[in-house]
Each structure stands twice: as C-alpha cells, then as structure tokens.
Amino acid sequence: MKFDTPATTNPIDQLKVVGKPTDRIDGPLKTTGRARYAYEHHDEVPGAAYGFVVGSGIAKGRIASMDLSAARAAPGVLAIVTADNAGTLGKGNFNTAKLLAGPGVDHYHQAVALVVAESFEQARAAAQLLRVEYAASPGVFDLAGAKDTASVPRGSRIPDTRVGDFAGSFAAAPVQLDASYSTPDQAHAMMEPHASIAAWEGDRLTVWTSNQMIDWSTGDLAKTLGIPKSQVRLVSRFIGGGFGGKLFVRADVVLAALGARAAGRPVKVALARPLMFNNTVHRPATLQRIRIGAGRDGRITAIGHESWSGDLPGGKPEMAVAQTRLLYAGAHRLTATRLAVLDMSEGNAMRAPGEAPGMMALEIAMDEMAEKLGLDPVEFRVLNDTQVDPEKPERAFSQRRLVECLRLGAERFGWNRREAQPGRVREGRWLVGMGAAAAFRNNQVTKSAARVRLDRRGIVTVETDMTDIGTGSYTIIAQTAAEMMGVPLERVVVRLGDSSFPVSAGSGGQWGANSSTAGVYAACVKLREAIAQKLGLAPGDASFSDGMVRAGNRSVSLAEAARSGELVAEDAIEFGDLGKKYQQSTFGAHFVEVGVDALTGEIRVRRMLAVCAAGRILNPKSARSQVIGAMTMGVGAALMEELAVDKRRGFFVNHDLAGYEVPVHADIPHQEVVFLDETDPISSPMKAKGVGELGICGVGAAVANAIYNATGVRVRDYPITLDKLLERLPASA
C-alpha cells in the first residue's frame, strides 16, 4: 500500500502548515485555567454530589461482613454503593466487572464501596465509618518467588519464537554473553487523577471522564452496566496525562455511574492519590535473561531473550522481548515470554509497554557484548544492523535508518571523546562517563475516522473522538485540516474527545498522531470533492489555498461554496494488510553523559541527546516536547522509579508522590533532540509515524551504560540507586 492522491500531488506535501513548529492551540486555555478537565464540568453538570471510593484493606480473600449503618446516618450521605446493591456487572473487554469487589477480593485497594454525599468532605468522613471485616487468604506477591510457576500466557500477542538452531549456535559461538536483568513495578503517576462525573437522563448515561480511548471505553462501560452502547456518551476533552494508565475504564467511571443511579443525581468521583497506585494499573516488573553469541568479527550468530512478569489471573504479560525479534541481525534466534499469577493490582500498558523495559535489558547486554568483543558499542550495533525482519527475511522495513541515527548521534554528542576504559575520566570528585543505546518502537496504525464541516463563513470544523493527553492532538489535527483545505490555522476549529463524534485511533501505542491525522486527511479529501462538485469543478483539477478554490481561470472562495448551507463530509482511513507487507517501526539513538560522585555514589545526568527517525514530523515543537518528556521518564526508570512491594501483605508501599520518586527539574540537564528529515509514504498519507514512545525506549540503558563507563560498576537491576554502586566503586576513587 502506498498513499498518494490521484491526479495531484498529495496536498499534505505542500508543508505550508504541516511540519511547522506550531504553538499548541490549546495552550492558552491550559495556561489560563480555562481548559476543563474531567472533574471540572460544573456548568454542564450543576448540582453534582460527591463520591468517595473505599479500597480493600487486604490483598486476597473475601469480605466477611460490611456494616453501613453508621456511614448511612452520617451528615449529607445520599447513597452507598457496594457489590450487594450494584446489580450484576457485565465483564467488558478489560475485565471491568472486577472494578467493584465483593464478596471476593482480588487485590489490595480494589474498590469495595462508594459513599455518595452532598460534599466531598462529607463523603470522605462517612467513608471512614464503614466497618468492613475481611477473611484474608494467602496470596502470591513476589515475582522472583513465583518465577518457577510461570507459564506460557494464553492468547499471547507475542508467542515464543525460534528461528534456526539457537542452542547449538550459542554453544558454538566463540564469544558469549549470558546475563540476567530486572526491572521493577512502575506507576504512571500522571498529574491528573482518574476522575469522572456521571449523569443519567432517563436510561441514557453521560460521563465526563479522563480517558485515552473513547470508543473502547464507551463499549466497555455499556457492557459493564448491561445497557446498549448507544445509550452511553463519554466526553474527555482534556486529559492531564495518561501514559497508558487511562486506556481503559477504571473504578472511577463505573462507580460514578452506579453512584449517580443510586443517588438520583450527577455524581463526581476522583480517586485519591494513594488509591491510584494500588487500585488502577501499573507497569509490571520483569525478570529477563539475554544470551548473545557472536563470532570474533563481532557479528551476532545467536540471540535469545526470555522474560518473566506477573499479573492477576487471566492477565497479560509484559512483552519485553518484542524488540529483540526485530532490532538486530542474527541467523539463530529465540524469544520466550512467561507469566506468573500474582495477587497484585493489574499490570498493564505504560508508555511503550514491552519495548521500554525490554530495551532496558537488551541495550545493556549489547554494551556488555561489545566489551567482550573489544568493539566500540556504537560500531557493534551498526555492524549488526538489518534491513529486513530477521524472523521473516522476505518482509522489509518500510523505513529503517537506525545506523544514521547512531552515526549522527555519535557525531553530535562527541562520542569520539569517550574513554573506552571505564573509570578513567574524573572531574574533581566526579567520575564521568558516556553511554549510548539504540531506540526502537513499532509503528502501529489503526482505523481512524473524522467529520469535517465547512460553514458559510469559510470556517472548517473537525470532529473526531480522538483525545489529547497533553500530546498536542488538537494542534496537529488543526494543521492537517488547514493544509488540506487551504486555510490558515485560525480558520480551523477542532472538537475532540466525545463519543458522539466519529471513532478515531485514540491516544495510545504511539499510533494516535499518525492514524488520527490520516483519518482527518481522508475526511478532507471527501470534503474537497464535495466543494469541487458544488462549484462545478473537476475534483482532480481543483487546488485549495489561501481560503480559495482554484481550477483553470476560476477562483472561488470556500465561503462561497457553503453559501447555501453547511457542507459536511465524513470518512475513515483503513490500513488493510499493510502490517503483513511491511515491517513498520521507528528508530533512534540515545546518548547520555553522567557524573557519579566518587565518595557517595550520587548519580547526576549531565547531558542527553536523542536522534529519532520517525517519518514526517507533523509538528517539530510538540514532537520535541514528547521526546524530552519520554527521555525524562527514561531517567526516572533508570535511577529512581520503583513501586516497593510489601511481600507479606501484597501492596505497593510507596503509593503517593512523596514516596514514589520521579525526576524533577534539578534531575534533568540540557536535552537535545534531532529528527531525521524523513517521510514514509507506506505508513500513511501523512507519511508520518509515532514518536512519543520512541523517546523512552533505550534511555534507561544509555544511563546504565554511562554509569558503567564512569565507574566500572555494572548494575543489571533497576533502578540504579547509590546503594548498588557504593561498595563496588573503584578503590582509587
């Protein structure tokens, strides 16, 4: 499949608006506080009551009894929702029936009740009066302890793979690496909590919520409540961060709907910060084993990657081996994924699921192997590049410029000044080192639709249920419509995040920008045809620019085309078997310099560079923001982020922003981002790809490799905290 517009050049290729570093059109709303988030729709939902969620005090077992009498008698209380009075909850695609416990309890802080009252304070106070008695059961809370019981996950998207004779080739390889790595549980820790307002009008439900995937969640909520999807409307116009934690319906949505039905009025529910960490989803911990065999010439002959993670019964694994199937050449290959049953809150998608933790291990292993071979780490990666899928050599990459990213990054970062021998560079008390890692994330595409309107003023309005999680969706969609219809950006209105609009890709998996703008492109092509027909012009001959439609000697304003009434067009982009014909991926390279205090082991990141090859960059300004945000998350994953598990009682101990550490301004130095000038006509008519998750993939390993280069201490278990360095720092330090 190749996306070209017949009889004309692709209008997007004019690049009058698309591809320009454009300020976010929603920026003024957010900086002035006029952007309304899920909990703030006061004008649209007057008189809303407040719900407070009560979480389970045990990790596994059942509710033996629940005394509601004191809470019901408390001031302002309107209703209390429990499993006993909620009715039967259906099981949506993402196991939404489990969002309200009773009588069984599946994990700590699983919701057991919602108290609804006139004010938030009254609901919170009454919630403390609930008397819940539990009958606890033994649970499994330790991934390492459960590793031996892990099994092949059912219905896995990434089954075990074997190509050639891995075992024989690895055993015969003159140079071998066999090492184990671990990554911890991590929290999304987004700024805006999970929050919803629900209101019933007869048998129709409207929920204002914070959700990345409107259509998924509309269907899931309808299934959960046992009502037709047509009777549910979800609205999510602005989202204060999601990172995958808001891909699905969570307890706030379901309980707000149940609470509103029980109270007979709209109800607002926001999960308290301590509840978010154990009640919702998290990135699951992994244990990983990587084996690489190579000839003395540095070429990989065998590569194997095995990963273990845990989840609730029926859950899914962390796909940490995904990138190893595609990133480097090697005739003999093995990947395996195993899933252990853990009685912890659900493990699920967090920014770049699979590749983010997988690259944290793989890219350390590549450095370790380069050292065994006596090769520069960048050159070792270049030497083992491949232009075809190593498992399916008949399938080429639509674009693959990893080598260029590595080479350019090395030049820009001054990699030639790196001292190959670890622990040799010192500035005062600081040991200084450089590290590098490849970046990889698959480019997913998904069907996406939009509706485009042209009114008699010449204003173009775009409607699609695409969401903006702080990524700039409003702006790139406006840029797409402006380019296609030949109008300035200020003549475009974008309306997002409403299930009454055509179904888009949604925000997740790095597929949102490319797919949603391609859907807008398709709708605009249809509107251009309608306008040309209205004006008596041949669509193939018409050009759109400066608010005018031109063909031959004729020139007519867009407003004239809609003089007798608004013109509306709706269409969708579908990608067919594109994924079968081509391997669609994005590539990059990360370079990091760190300083390690020789006396205390304190680690300071000094500078960072990312070079990205991700198709056409639709808005370099917002794309850069996405990448530096991802780089920052990568530093957090490398140095500080870890949900500490109480292995006796089965919960995350540091379940707030005081105990769960994330990077702050003082932790992050100068960051540079370079985008290769690239287009991918196979990917979409926008010739773009995703970039927001590519920026995190490989960062953690680049930091780890820099620490090793600075100190000579190799840490394979994240996060790399000073206690893992201190006793192993060189005696000369």
Q: Are 51 and 115 in contact (CB under 8 A)?
A: yes
Half-sphere exposure of 123 (CA within 13 A, CB side): 27
- How far apart, in whole angstroms, are the C-alpha atoms of residue 646 and residue 653? 6
Residue 510 contacts residue 520 (beta carbons within 8 Å): no
Quote the tokens at residue 18: 């698309």
436: left (phi over 0), alpha (psi -120 to 50) or beta: beta
Spatial CA neighbour of 721 closest among 709, 707, 705, 733: 707
Answer whether 426's CB lies under 8 Å from 447's CB.
no
Catalytic residues: 693
Rg (CA), the chain: 27
Cβ(330)–Cβ(362) below 8 Å: no
Residues 184 and 645: their CA atoms lie apart, in Å, by 10
Residue 495 has what DSSP assignment?
E
Encoded amino acid at 32, one letter: T
Q: C-alpha angle 284/287/288, rounded to 5°?
A: 120
Residues 6+ apart with CB under 8 A from 326: 389, 390, 391, 440, 442, 583, 585
Question: DSSP states of 510-577 as a string?
Answer: T-HHHHHHHHHHHHHHHHHHHHHHHTT--GGG-EEETTEEEETTEEEEHHHHTTTS-EEEEEEE--TT
Between β-strands 603-613 and 585-597, what pairing exists: parallel, antiparallel or unpaired? antiparallel
* DSSP category for residue 425: -
d(CA 374, CA 644): 38
Q: Is the dihedral of CA 411, 412, 417, 419 positive or negative?
A: negative
